[in-house]
Structures are given as structure tokens and as C-alpha cells.
Amino acid sequence: VVDGVIATGYVDDDNLFVTGGSGGGVLTSWIVGKTDRFRAAVVAKPVINWTSFVLLADNPAFFAKYWFGAFPWEDGQQEKYWKRSPLSLVGNVVTPTMLLTGEQDYRTPMSETVQYYTALKLRKIQTALVRIQNSGHGIANTPSNLMAKVMYILAWFEDYRA
């Protein structure tokens, strides 16, 4: 898809950036674990480790039953959880990556964000952690939080513009 958009001529392929929140945060963290083509990334309110997510998020029985079919400790499940976890790819990441999550996010808890941030720091990858105060999963629910989110993302991308 990215190659197709570049082929249209409307995109500066020297300045590709990627971001997403919630499911998009999962995908963004997965993408930077699979490719180095983006100059920078912003991973917002992600799931990084499906085991810890299922055990800490706001509806553990639902997530385990309907998203995985079993709890992580049941026979053979841990491998299935790990294979779907972006944390399993953190060893490949070279893209400067900012993480952004609401402090009161119970859907994708701050602990998910902190795990990825810590792993990136340990690998000496350029990273930043932004905690949006007074915010749950819907970071943009207030105008000030929406503005803060957008400003953080744009500033991060501007820092890595070619």
C-alpha cells in the first residue's frame, strides 16, 4: 500500500512517518518491528504484550475467550499470545518511536506502553514516553488533550524530517 501511494507522486518518500492508536498502535509497533522504511513512528495507546494486556486490561475474561479462545497459561497458549505481541519484534526496531497513552487508560493500560518504552530504551533506540494527564482510552475526548496529542505527534515527526 505504501509503495502504491508513493507511486502516485504525491508523497515524499524521504519523509515517511507512521502512527496509530489502539489497534493502530498495535499495528504501528508491529510495523516498526518489521521494516525500517519510516523515519519515525508514534505508537499511541498500544497493546505490546498480549499476555499482560489480557491480565491487566478492563475486560480480561472477554479478551481471553473471544480474541484468543483460552487463557495464556493454558496448554500451548503462551506461544500463541507471544507470536501476536509486538514486543516479540522489538529486537528488530531501529525507527525512532514515541509512545503516547492516557494515564487513566484501562483498555490499553499504561503498563503496555511502559514495557515497549523500556525495551526501546534498553536497545538504545530513540524514544519518548508521553503520558496524557486526565485521559483514558479516548485521548481526544477533550479539546486540550486532542491538541496535546496532535502537537506531540507533529513535533516528533518534525524532529526526524529529512
pLDDT of residue 4: 93
- pLDDT per residue over 99-138, tens digit each? 999 999 999 999 999 999 999 999 999 999 999 999 999 9
What are the residue numbers of the active site? 22, 137
pLDDT of residue 135: 94
Look over the chain and give the mean of its residue pLDDT values, rounded to a whole number: 96
Strand partners, 130: 100
Rounded alpha-carbon distances, angstroms, from residue 10 to 3, 29, 107, 114, 150 = 12, 25, 36, 36, 22
Residues 34, 92: contact at Cβ < 8 Å?
Answer: yes
